[in-house]
Structure 1
């Protein structure tokens, strides 16, 4: 941020400041320099020394840094402080307020051509847009952040790349999200760019898409790598996010106590850091753990707390996911009417392009509720809608389960051939999870 401008730009700036102050070239030059030297300097025909520029800055009454860069003194420090404040605002769950802070910082950074600050502000705007469910805007901000860092090493661009992948993931584009994360991991590992924070961020982020695609073995491997990298990371928020992601693979392997322990570590870190949205996500995951373990009353309490925290902060897509989990617990507790109302609210907030996986989960559960109420026509309609959304997203694990539900329904209503077709479709998605839709696993990090 302290690189000086070229002599012509500095010369013009000196001339402008001298004219504004009503000084002659002689008055500016004396006693150390000549008017002729100032004339040459203002014409941009000489590269002035630091000593000469400090003399001129003193006579003009401006800071040396402002004279040579055109930026107010202490601008860099001020912007860094304001970026930290915006990050704190976002961490507390105030996404809209944080977006205003980041937008103001971005405008100022653009005026002064501060690429690094632009990149961080765009990254922050992308995170705010993810929180409020504006996925197209989020993707645009993350792409802008990557472009601002085009000349920086790959580890510096990883947060923006990861943000772009998450925006595709939340839109239901699982395969493309995995492609982005895996290709970046490959480039880091094969290129010897073993930055622990960058690798940890990518491995933690790829677990969710892997699980939804049915690639459980690959999700478990990513979780193991993330756990091994955690001690090398200096970012507690990153370590907390990793513990939350890893809990999903531990659950899939039936390691419930370990999953709960991982979530407890994450929650404690988020409480210390006061990151409200992520803490809410920990309550959500703990509710999920309790539900898997049959502790439905505790699960309902955890999920309601998560939903309250997320809804209050307008974390739209995340609150939709939690609402579906809560509806499942409510249905299992015999509160099917409340569950169905909650799911219809979720569907009114989402579209196939925004939250496809959550919409599919809502339709699946509405189908189950309709079946329990012996409304087979409505159940089939919900299952078919869910199937269409999941096929578009490539969520193999969920597709197999849904095909089983649809097949069972069709068989019970006497449509045996249609039921067999549904079962065959499901079996196709169950074949060798993680090997039919994904290429070779990315290169491994040195651990």
Structure 2
């Protein structure tokens, strides 16, 4: 039941509704109350009892909730129905359209003081901004959602925390992203709050930052945990549509609690659809592990599966990251032309603010391919671009390796002093390799 407004607000509302219906105070009061009582109530000098408000609401032809709080009957349920529809639009890859829907829902929920619906709309806006690469806006939306949910339990706040971390990660702020995710994982697992959905969101989100920081063992463990937690659903989009249709029917019949339950199931399924992006990252991680073990056939299979899943979600930035890993495998399998073509096709999806580490990896690999073809000027250009991107992101381990490649190239072309400078720079970065800031890995789930 929504919280009641104060006596003055309720009084003005009663007076307005009575006037709209052309009723006198006597007509509104009879037979249970007096005209004087209605006059006092409308003046805001008395707090009406629940029984009195129910009587007045019945006479005015409105619901008790609408009279007590000013919210139309079933407003919260109707907003949740529209939230699931916005989730469907986002799951279909139409982020801009979904963003417009979420913005309208946020304004309406804020107008009526519906905090859970406000938070859900802000989370949706954050996801839309991630999809479109507007990382500053995404971070702001997630921060506002987390502030609204500050009084809730950690599992409820996890989507906002995960969103913030992903926005920081995509902006190249790796350590802070890992800090946010590991802190939340520790809070859940050490606190016994083993919520599968919350854990799945966090484990899938932490894989990318781990990989880029060189914490490959942690990334592999997070991927295995995520795949073990992954929910199973047979055609979740179809089931979600069914639940939305059922909810509309129930809402029309005034069965709000049952409609809410159906909408909750639909929302959960749309979240699973969005998780395809993150689960694809798990296949990307597996491909990387196979590549490191020299199992290039299996690596290519996993990475192509990741690319296929990401193509379905239209997640361009993530798809480009997986493409860089696949290009590396193709190069190692003796297919440099195919690898270079793949890299050229995705470089436009990156910038110094979006996916800097993977942009650097693409330039590094293009440099190696160019060097193998004796195109030393092109190779040097790619290496220098990669160095600039990695310095911005602070990926120290990758910087050291790149300095070695550049130094070797400069030495082979007779520029000994420049080569020594590159080697010295690499040694400096090697002394501070990329790592997380929390020391021990976060506690694992109980399985």
Same fold (TM over 0.5): yes
Counterparts of 2:132 and 2:78 in 1: how far apart (Å)?
28
TM-superposed CA distance for 1:139, in Å, is 1.3
Give 1:110 shift: 1.9
Aligned to 1:157: 157
Q: How many residues align?
A: 410
Structure 2 equivalent of residue 26 of structure 1: 26
Q: TM-score, normalised by structure 2?
A: 0.79
For residues 287 and 372 of structure 1, the distance between their equivalents in structure 2, rounded to whole angstroms, comes to 25
Write the distance in 2 (CA, Å) between the matches of 1:286 and 1:223: 8
Greater mean alpha carbon deviation, residues 83-92 or residues 298-307: 298-307
Match of 2:419 in 1: 419
Q: C-alpha deviations, 1:99-143, integer Å up to 9, x for none?
A: 343233223212212111111111122112222322222112112
- Following superposition, the deviation at residue 430 of structure 1 comes to 4.1
Distance 2:141 2:200 in 1: 22
Partner of 2:437: 438
User: In the TM superposition, what is the alpha-carbon distance from 1:26 to its structure 2 partner?
Assistant: 0.7
CA offsets 1:278-324 (integer angstroms, 9 cap, x no match): 46545545554554555656655654564455346431211221232
* Whole-angstrom distance in 2 between the partners of 1:387 and 1:2: 57
CA–CA separation in structure 1 for the residues paired with 2:434 and 2:292: 23
Is the CA contact (8 Å cut-off) linking 2:380 and 2:406 kept in structure 1? yes
Please report how far the alpha carbon of residue 392 of structure 1 lies from its aligned counterpart in structure 2 after TM superposition: 1.7
1: CA distance between counterparts of 2:272 and 2:221? 28
Residues 1:340 and 2:351 are matched in the alignment? no
Deviation at 1:389, TM superposition (A): 1.1
Q: Residue deviations 1:10-44, cap 9 Å, x none?
A: 11111111111111111111011111111111112
Cα distance in 1, alignment partners of residues 404 and 83 from structure 2: 50
* Residue pairs, 1:8-27, within 5 angstroms: 8-27=8-27
Residues 344/182 of structure 1: CA separation in 2 closer, same or farther (3 Å cut): same
Change (3 A) 1:176 1:432: closer
Structure-1 residue corresponding to 2:60: 60
Q: CA 1:174–1:85 in 2, change beyond 3 Å: closer, same or farther?
A: same
Mapped pair 1:388 → 2:388: yes
**Gap change, CA 1:309 and 1:199, over 3 Å in 2:** closer
The answer on whether the counterparts of 1:214 and 1:396 sit within 8 Å (CA) in structure 2 is no
Q: Is the 8 A contact 1:296 1:329 kept in 2?
A: yes
In structure 1, what is the equivalent of residue 259 of structure 2? Answer: none
Structure 1, unpaired ranges of 5+: 238-268
The aligned runs of 1:15-414 (5 Å cut-off) are 15-184=15-184, 192=191, 194=193, 196-197=195-196, 198=198, 201-216=201-216, 219=219, 273-275=272-274, 276-278=276-278, 280-281=280-281, 284-285=284-285, 287-288=287-288, 291-292=291-292, 300=300, 303-304=303-304, 306-307=306-307, 310-311=310-311, 313-414=313-414
The residue that corresponds to 1:244 in the other structure is none
Q: Distance in 2 between matches of 1:45 and 1:308?
A: 66
Q: How far is the alpha carbon of 1:410 from its aligned partner?
A: 2.5
Does the 8 Å CA contact 2:149/2:157 hold for their aligned counterparts?
Answer: yes
**More deviation in 74-83 or 411-420?**
411-420
User: 2:258 maps to which residue?
Assistant: none
Structure 2, unmatched stretches of 5+, are 234-267
TM-score w.r.t. structure 1 length? 0.79
SS in 1 for 2:214: coil
Q: Which moved more, 1:62-71 or 1:90-99?
A: 90-99
* Deviation, structure 1 residue 67: 1.1
Indicate the larger mover: 389-398 or 291-300: 291-300
Distance 1:274 1:9, change over 3 A: same
Write out per-residue CA displacement over residues 203-222 of structure 1, whole angstroms, 9 at most, x where no aligned residue.
54334323322244655676
**In 2, Cα distance between equivalents of 1:37 and 1:84:** 44
> Partner of 1:22: helix, strand, or coil?
coil
Contact 2:397 2:434 in 1 (8 A): no
Q: Distance in 1 between matches of 2:137 and 2:271?
A: 30
What is the aligned partner in structure 1 of residue 255 from structure 2?
A: none
Structure 1 distance, partners of 2:420, 2:300, is 36
Secondary structure of 1:310's counterpart equals: helix
